Amino acid sequence: MNTLIKTDDNHSSTLKIIVIRRDNIGDLVCTTPVFSAMREHYPKARICALVNSYNVAVLENNPDIDEIYAYTKAKHRAAGTSAFKVYWERLKLFARLRKERFDYAIIGGAHFLPRGLRLARMIRPCHIIGFTEQGKKGIQHIDTPIPYTLDAPLHEAEDIFRLLAPLAITGAPPPLRVVASNAEMAAARAQLSARGWTAGQTVIGVHISARKPSQRWPAENFVELVRALHQSENAVFMLFWSPGDESNPHHPGDDNKARQIMSALSGVPLIAYPTQQLRELIAGLSVCDRVICSDGGAMHIAAGLGKPILCFFGKSDASRWHPWGVPHIVLQPASQEVAEISVKEGFAAFGRLQEQCTSHPVGK
C-alpha cells in the first residue's frame, strides 16, 4: 500500500487526525496503541478522538490525545433526557468537528463499519481511512481503503493497528494505555490505608463481574482462592464488581455475589470497591499490583494500566482478546465455561503469573 504521508513530511506538524471508535470499553482500550504510535511519529500533530459517553473515560488523561469528543447514544441518555435533545447535541458536536477541518478520519474497528463511516462523513475530513469488504454498500466513500483480510489470527490491537499503514506507521503495536486521574488514585489509596495497607504490601484486585454467563466464576471459588492467596502472599485485596441487582434486565449487577464473598472472608483484608463509574474502576485497578478477572472491559483496562493479569476465558476468542502487552495467564477450559475452572487451577496459575512477573517485569 502506498502511504499518504512520510514521517519527514514538511506538513506533519499541521496534521489533524481524528480516530472514531464508538463501541465497547475493551475495544476502545485496544485502540489506544494507535494514539501512542501517532504521537510518537507525529509529535506536533493534532490528534483527537470521537467516542461515546459510555466509554469516554478510557481516554481521559491520556497524554497522546489533544482533545476527546464524545456524543451520547440514545440508549445511554440520562433519565429525563429526551431523545430529541440527544440528537440535537450530536448535531451541534458535528458542526464543531467540521470546523476543525481534519486531514484524516480513521474508522477504528475491525471489518467495514457503516455506522463509523456515517460519523466520519459527517465530520467531512479530507481523507477517510478504514477497512473495506468487497460487496458492502458505501465502501466507495472510504478514499483510503484497507481491504479487510486476515492471513492469520490477530489480536484486536494488532488488527486495528493496520489502519495506520497509510500514515507510514507499521510494525507491532505498543502496549495499551489507560491513565487514572491523580485525585481518584489518591482516594483509592486512602481506602487501602484505612484498612491497614502499608507501602510495599501486595494489592490484588479481584473483579467478579462478567457480562456473559460463560465468563462467570462462582462466588465460592473466589472465596477459596482469596483465602489461599492471603495465606501465601500476605496480600490486601480489592473486590470489584458491577453494582446492582442480578435480575435487572438492562444492567445486571453483582451486589448479592459481592455480599456473599465479603461475608465469607470477614477475617481477610478485603476492601469492597463497587464501581458505579468507569473512572472509579480505572482508579481502583491502578493501585493494584496484580488483577484476577474474567475476559471483558475490566481486563483490558487492567492491561492498559500495566497490570499483570490472571484471566478466565469462557466463550470468547483468547487469541484475539487476551491481555495485550502485560504478563498474563489465560485459563480457558475445553467446555468454554469459566465455572469449570477449579480453585486449584486458579491458585497454580497465579503462581505461574508471579514467576512470569519475576522473569519478565512489566516495562522491561
Q: Which tens digits make up the pLDDT trace of 25-72?
A: 999 999 999 999 999 999 999 999 999 988 999 999 999 999 999 988
Alpha-carbon distance 163 to 145, whole Å? Answer: 9
In a domain, 172, yes or no: no
Q: Of the residues 141, 167, 193, which one is the last residue of a structural domain?
A: 167
**107-142 core/surface letters (b: 16 or more CB in 10 A; e: else):** bbbbebbeebbebbebbebebbbbbbeeeeeebeeb
Residue 293, strand partner residues: 311
Total domains present in the chain: 2
Cβ distance 323 to 200 under 8 Å? no
Prediction pTM value: 0.92
Specify whether 154 is located in the same domain as 186.
no
297 lies in which domain range?
182-359
In a domain, 245, yes or no: yes
Q: What is the mean pLDDT of the chain?
A: 91
Longest dimension (CA), the chain: 64
Cell, residue 201: 504490601
Alpha-carbon distance 130 to 139, whole Å? Answer: 9
The torsion angle over the Cα atoms of residues 184, 186, 187 and 189, rounded to 10 degrees, is: 130
In a domain, 113, yes or no: yes
Specify whether 211 is located in the same domain as 110.
no
Specify whether 201 is located in the same domain as 333.
yes
Cell, residue 24: 465497547
Q: Is 242 helix (H, G, I), strand (E, B) or coil?
A: coil
Task: For residue 269, count CB atoms less than 10 angstroms from its CB and return exposed for 0-12, middle for 13-18, buried for 19 or more.
Answer: middle
Residue found by looking up cell 433526557 in the block: 81
Specify whether 294 is located in the same domain as 193.
yes
Is the Cα torsion angle 89, 297, 358, 153 positive or negative in sign?
negative
Per-residue pLDDT of the chain (364 residues; tens, 9 = 90+): 555 665 455 556 689 999 999 888 999 999 999 999 999 999 999 999 999 988 999 999 999 999 999 988 766 666 667 777 878 888 999 999 999 999 999 999 999 999 999 999 999 999 999 999 999 999 999 999 999 999 899 999 999 999 999 999 999 999 999 999 999 999 999 988 887 777 778 999 999 999 899 999 999 999 999 999 999 988 999 999 999 887 666 667 899 999 999 999 998 999 999 888 999 999 999 999 999 999 999 999 999 999 999 999 999 999 999 999 999 999 999 999 999 999 999 999 999 999 999 876 654 3
Cβ distance 66 to 48 under 8 Å? yes
Specify whether 97 is located in the same domain as 202.
no
46: domain CATH number? 3.40.50.2000
Specify whether 159 is located in the same domain as 41.
yes
Q: Of the residues 119, 143, 167, which one is the last residue of a structural domain?
A: 167
Specify whether 162 is located in the same domain as 17.
yes
Cβ distance 310 to 291 under 8 Å? yes
Alpha-carbon distance 15 to 248, whole Å? Answer: 46
In a domain, 173, yes or no: no
Alpha-carbon distance 90 to 88, whole Å? Answer: 5
Nearest-10 crossing angle of helices 297-304, 278-286:
50
Alpha-carbon distance 302 to 324, whole Å? Answer: 10
Which amino acid, one-letter code, is at 74?
Answer: A
Strands, E assignment, the chain: 16-20, 46-52, 67-71, 104-107, 127-132, 144-147, 203-207, 236-241, 270-274, 290-294, 309-312, 328-331
Q: Of the residues 167, 190, 207, which one is the last residue of a structural domain?
A: 167
